[in-house]
Amino acid sequence: MPIQNTSPGSERNIVLTGFMGTGKSSVARELAHMLGREVIDLDTEIEKNAGMSITSIFATFGEPRFRELETDAARQAAQKRGAIISTGGGVVLRRENVEALKASGIIFCLAASPETILKRTSANRERPLLQVPDPLAKITEMLNARGPCYMESCDYMIDTGGKTPKEVAQEIQGKLKIG
């Protein structure tokens, strides 16, 4: 039976947080397919609103401006009902983002080891924060710094290591049924 018809909280958004390369976008697409819901990808919304790529926003205006645009996009997305919201890895850094998203739905944080993240992210150059000489060290450092933010802001933490996006989406679906 489709999830959206099974509980009184059916209009809640499903929010995916987690570090870069933990699979948020692919899991969001799987969930949308399984549940028949719309996906809102915050990075895509930021790019649409700014009329430029994330890489260009960082290069032209810097990270602080990107974080402002991210907060605008998070606020807009939190107005939605019944959507799957895929966030950027740094959305948990601002309390106001987390508060808006939490008020709008249930938060699943996707996790993976630094090695898995490196494998999944090394193929493309679209993540400005990982364009450094030693990306594994950078990933490890950022995971350590951000760990508490991910933990504290989510309702469920899901390890994605060695799992396909479909398997992760099924795990989330299972939690929605009992939650």
Q: How far is the CB of 30 from ligand S3P (least distance, A)?
A: 16
Nearer to ligand S3P, 26 or 104 (CB): 26
Residues pairing with 158 in the sheet: 110
- Smaller CB separation from ligand S3P, 16 or 106: 16
Helix, strand, coil content of the chain in percent (nearest 5): 60, 15, 30
Cβ closest to ligand S3P, residue 6 vs residue 49: 49
Instruction: Give the H/E segment covering residue 97.
Output: helix 95-104
Burial of 176 (0-12, 13-18, 19+ CB in 10 A): buried
Closer to ligand S3P by CB, 30 or 43: give it: 43
Nearest-approach distance from CB 3 to ligand S3P, in angstroms: 24
Residue 125 or 177 with smaller CB distance to ligand S3P = 125
Q: What is the rounded distance in angstroms from the CA atom of residue 36 to the CA atom of residue 8?
A: 17
From the CB of 88, what's the least distance to ligand S3P, in Å? Answer: 2
Q: How far is the CB of 40 from ligand S3P (least distance, A)?
A: 13
Which residues are near ligand S3P by CB under 6 A?
20, 24, 43, 54, 88-90, 127-129
Smallest distance, ligand S3P to C-beta of residue 177, A: 27
State the CB neighbour count (10 A cutoff) for residue 91.
27
CB atoms within 10 A of CB 171: 17
